[in-house]
Amino acid sequence: MRSLGFDTSVLSPFARADLLPVLEQVTAGERRIVTRAVLVEIQHGIATGYPELERVLRAGWLEQVRVDSPRELESFAELALRFGRTGRDVGEATTIAWALANGGTVVTDDRVAYNVCREHRIPVLRSMRLLAGALHKGILASERVAAVVDALLDRGARLPVGSGDAFLSWYRGDL
């Protein structure tokens, strides 16, 4: 079983669009983790005007993990320097550190986090790949996937397509 570590860039749009059940469905059978730092980012989002993010805190299928082993802390220290000292991107850094130390896969739609994973040869997925996998496996129909993509985009998801129809064209290889 693969371990998927989610960061805020994925969880937030899914929660804001009330689509966490879809994310749960397309990742069923996997270990799905979230770090405390990501949950702190989610709590900050709730406090700054996005009460719908509370759904993430209630998602019983997400396992909270600590990033506190010597290997995880060493990785986090290195990654924190890579991301900068602004206090932003701590969630991404902890998720990547956890994945690096524990052989996990990072699920992120953040471009910098994605590139850091690639540089460190950490398996990484974007929302689009999860949805493409669900479409390929018949977990979701194409119409449902297109509607999910549109809803995510409406909620600020960082996707490299502009619509659900564009996603389906990308999936089919038409782009």
pLDDT at 89: 79
Tell me the pLDDT tens digit for each residue of 100-113: 999 999 999 999 89
Asked if residue 46 and residue 104 are part of one domain, the reply reads yes
pLDDT at 86: 53
Alpha-carbon distances of 96 from 84, 99, 115, rounded to whole Å: 15, 5, 11
Asked if residue 162 and residue 81 are part of one domain, the reply reads no
Asked if residue 153 and residue 93 are part of one domain, the reply reads no
pTM above 0.75, yes or no: yes
Tell me the pLDDT tens digit for each residue of 5-22: 999 999 999 999 999 999
| 57 confidence band (pLDDT: 50, 70, 90) | very high
The residue among 19, 10, 66 whose CA lies nearest residue 42 is 10
Please tell me the distance from the alpha carbon of residue 112 to that of residue 152, in angstroms, as a whole number.
20
pLDDT at 83: 66
The residue among 18, 87, 12 whose CA lies nearest residue 46 is 12
The residue among 52, 92, 100, 56 whose CA lies nearest residue 74 is 100
Asked if residue 78 and residue 112 are part of one domain, the reply reads yes
pLDDT at 79: 77
pLDDT at 175: 42
Alpha-carbon distances of 24 from 77, 91, 117, 120, rounded to whole Å: 31, 20, 23, 27
Please tell me the distance from the alpha carbon of residue 89 to that of residue 95, in angstroms, as a whole number.
10
Domain count, the chain: 2
For 73, the domain range is 3-126
Asked if residue 43 and residue 78 are part of one domain, the reply reads yes
Asked if residue 152 and residue 106 are part of one domain, the reply reads no
pLDDT at 85 over 50: yes
Q: What is the CATH number of the domain that holds 12?
A: 3.40.50.1010
Tell me the pLDDT tens digit for each residue of 128-170: 999 999 999 999 999 999 999 999 999 989 899 999 999 999 9
Q: Is 54:16 a contact under the CB 8 Å cutoff?
A: no
